[in-house]
Amino acid sequence: WSSDVCSSDLARGAKVLGGGTNSNFRAGVSPTPLVIDRGEGAYLIDVDGNRHVDYYCAMGPIILGHNPPAVIEAAKRQLDKGIIFASQVEAEFEAGELVQKLVPCAERVRFAGSGTEVVQAAFRLARAATGRNIIVKFEGHYHGWLDNVLLSVGPTAEAGGPADAPNLVPGSPGMDPLAAKSVNVLPWNNLEKLKERLAKRDVAAVIMEPAMCNTSAIRPKDGYLEGVRQVCTETGTILIFDEVITGFRVSAGGAQKVLGVTPDLCTFGKAIANGFPVAAIAGRADLMDMMVPGKVVHGGTYNGHPVNMAATVAVLKELQKGDVYKKIEKQGKRLMDGIGTILRDHQVPNRVQGFAGIFHVALGTSDPITDYRDSLKADKARYVKLTAA
């Protein structure tokens, strides 16, 4: 591909945008420089006219392709009615009913704009319900970029300290150290360590990706989620699944449906609206119904935005049919098997693991990856070189 036009556009962006982009997470996406003109189905066309297969799926949201007719038409119809009203629209109720129907934990639902936002709403509900303050998260799990949770997401082994008692490692300069005082970090897939911590009965909530898709697409060990569910129930701790990545991608009911464990609260984003800025928090009615005037505050001018809700309804109606997941399972498994075979044929040690719709390719190791420290064994420099080839 030619980078002349892309380089020019990126230079233009560097003069306007802080750091040249509107999200740090886009800056390192390979190949770069890359500026996109449009999307067509599974493809992206850059401003030079080059056509790319979008294996990133726009970092997760795109599950129906870049321009699914039913979703685009639903958004257009709502735009003809108006943009935003500071009131309710029927599409909010219909979208909520669809989430209730599809997701095991969803006795109640609330919509917002981003995964980061709904994670914070879940923390607030858990603290209000339990009267406790501490949140337990796991090394390698990502739950948004705010100061009280951007902790131990991708530390080096040296910074992380002992594998069975990880250090609390801030993810950015400028973070408020006081925000981290109410957070404990543990190794994931280690039930005994969690039982030991929750025995003190001072933890408000445990938050985790039910499958660790932010790092190496790691599935939980047999019995792990069931054990977490049991110990949270026994100690009065709220169990939160962050399904911003897995929700509506591994199945219409999320990873909780596939893995058979129901949390108290759950957060969604990305694939729920195929790229429209929609997130959701769902869970037990007694917890969710605390979000009323005079109790737990949760606000947002753009929550339940009419155009986004119309798109969400169209997406969820399509996903509930099930045909999308049959196609993902078939094509995703073929891709996983094919990548693994090619790498083995070229004597490249590798580990391809995860779900058909979200999988990870590790180079330099063929050992199972069961937690964050295992993921550090992979040759990341070689992986970057592969993706930028």
Catalytic sites, residue numbers: 142, 242, 270
State the SS3 of 298-333: CCCCCCCCHHHHHHHHHHHHHHCCCHHHHHHHHHHH
- In our burial notation (b when 16+ CB lie closer than 10 A, e otherwise), range 117-136 reads bbbbbbbbbbbbbbebebbb
Closest C-alpha among 196, 214, 193 to residue 150: 214
* DSSP one-letter string for 137-171: EETT----SSTTT-BSSS--HHHH--TTS----BS
| Cα–Cα dist 151/166, whole Å | 11
Tokens of 98: 């669809």
**End-to-end distance of the chain based on CA atoms, in angstroms?**
11
CA atoms within 13 A on the CB side of 42: 4
Q: Of the candidates 333, 309, 188, which has an alpha carbon nearest to the alpha carbon of residue 250?
A: 333
User: What is the amino acid identity at position 145?
Assistant: W
Residue 355: enclosing H or E segment and its boundaries?
Answer: strand 350-355
CB 203 within 8 A of CB 237: yes
Structure tokens at 327: 């196609």
